């Protein structure tokens, strides 16, 4: 295969994974859909971490049960295992990075397909469906082994039905699980930002680009406040400021807050510096440009 053919194939594969996102304000964005391999890797990592957590929890419960000679330890273990399995995915995806530890290690995150902030309803919905996609097939296999509870054919039918849900993401171009389809979410590649030495660069290499109109709404005061928030690295503060800027300029939520803020800061700083070269100084958003 020639170099030209190889490059063409790479571009075609990249195009297949890229979705154009046109906002109501006409802003053209691109999202890179995470591959099924990355999603599977993230799931394996998360399940491994859950199992390790359960192992540690089991040791603690066993130690407590031996020390007290109480059957309450068994009930505590069952409750802890249920809570951990149920709320691991929901809790992390409701966080500021919208990703479990496994997703973060694989460089992917969950976003809303309408460009808004992920809601608790959407996160809960997409993860409750996982019970049908993943844990129900495992339960069916276990039940099928117990012949006195259900016939083998019933167990097989249940496993086939559940695996149909589990493999749904392999048969759609957006690599959506059934949970994603119901909740209105995508799993996409997550841009990452370094907020220390890179904060002073001019933004020429940023993956995100802002128009002159989007940058023109803020001045020097807002730039200084934005730098303070970035250096503070408080996820809650960054989330609030990022949402405020997105609402002001009409951008959807399609990337992590720190990535968005760092890109906007760099390009706003470069714009204001260019204006200063021509003797134009805008103190804040209320001053004329």
Domain boundaries, the chain: 36-189, 197-277
Which of the four pLDDT bands, split at 50, 70 and 90, describes residue 190?
Answer: confident
Does the structure show a pLDDT above 50 at 165? yes
Instruction: Give me 237's structure tokens.
Output: 């503060």
Whole-prediction pTM: 0.66
Residue 90: its pLDDT value, please?
92
The residue-averaged pLDDT of 108-120 equals 85
| Contact residues for 199 (Cβ-Cβ < 8 A; gap 6+) | 227, 230, 231, 262, 265, 266
Q: How far apart are CA 236 and CA 229, in angstroms?
A: 10
Of 186 and 195, the one with more pLDDT:
186
Measured CA to CA in angstroms, residue 4 lies from 1, 11, 15, 18, 33 at distances of: 8, 11, 16, 21, 25
For 160, phi then psi, to 5°, come to -60, -45
Q: How far apart are CA 98 and CA 108, in angstroms?
A: 9
Listed in order, strand segments (DSSP E) in the chain are 18-22, 28-32, 108-112, 185-189
Residue 45: its pLDDT value, please?
94
Pairing outcome for strands 108-112 and 185-189: antiparallel
């Amino acid at each position: 295969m020639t170099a030209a053919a190889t490059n063409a194939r790479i571009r075609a594969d990249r195009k297949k994974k890229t979705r154009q996102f046109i906002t109501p304000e006409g802003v053209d964005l691109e999202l890179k859909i995470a591959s099924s391999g990355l999603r599977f890797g993230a799931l394996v990592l998360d399940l491994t971490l859950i199992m390790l957590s359960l192992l540690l929890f089991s040791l603690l419960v066993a130690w407590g049960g031996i020390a007290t000679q109480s059957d309450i330890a068994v009930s505590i273990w069952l409750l802890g295992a249920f809570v951990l399995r149920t709320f691991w995915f929901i809790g992390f995806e409701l966080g500021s990075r919208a990703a479990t530890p496994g997703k973060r290690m694989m460089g992917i995150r969950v976003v809303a397909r309408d460009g808004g902030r992920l809601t608790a309803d959407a996160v809960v919905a997409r993860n409750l469906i996982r019970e049908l996609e993943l844990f129900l097939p495992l339960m069916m296999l276990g039940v099928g082994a117990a012949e006195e509870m259900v016939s083998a054919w019933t167990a097989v039918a249940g496993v086939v039905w559940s695996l149909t849900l589990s493999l749904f993401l392999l048969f759609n171009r957006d690599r959506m699980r059934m949970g994603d389809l119901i909740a209105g979410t995508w799993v996409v590649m997550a841009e990452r930002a370094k907020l220390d030495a890179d904060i002073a660069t001019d933004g020429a290499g940023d993956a995100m680009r802002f128009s002159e109109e989007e940058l023109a709404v803020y001045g020097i005061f807002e730039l200084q406040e934005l730098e303070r928030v970035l250096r503070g690295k408080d996820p809650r503060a960054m989330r609030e400021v990022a949402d405020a800027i997105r609402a002001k300029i009409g951008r959807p939520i399609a990337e992590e807050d720190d990535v968005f803020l760092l890109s906007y800061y760099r390009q706003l700083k470069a714009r204001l510096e260019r204006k200063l070269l021509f003797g134009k100084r805008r103190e804040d958003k209320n001053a004329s440009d």
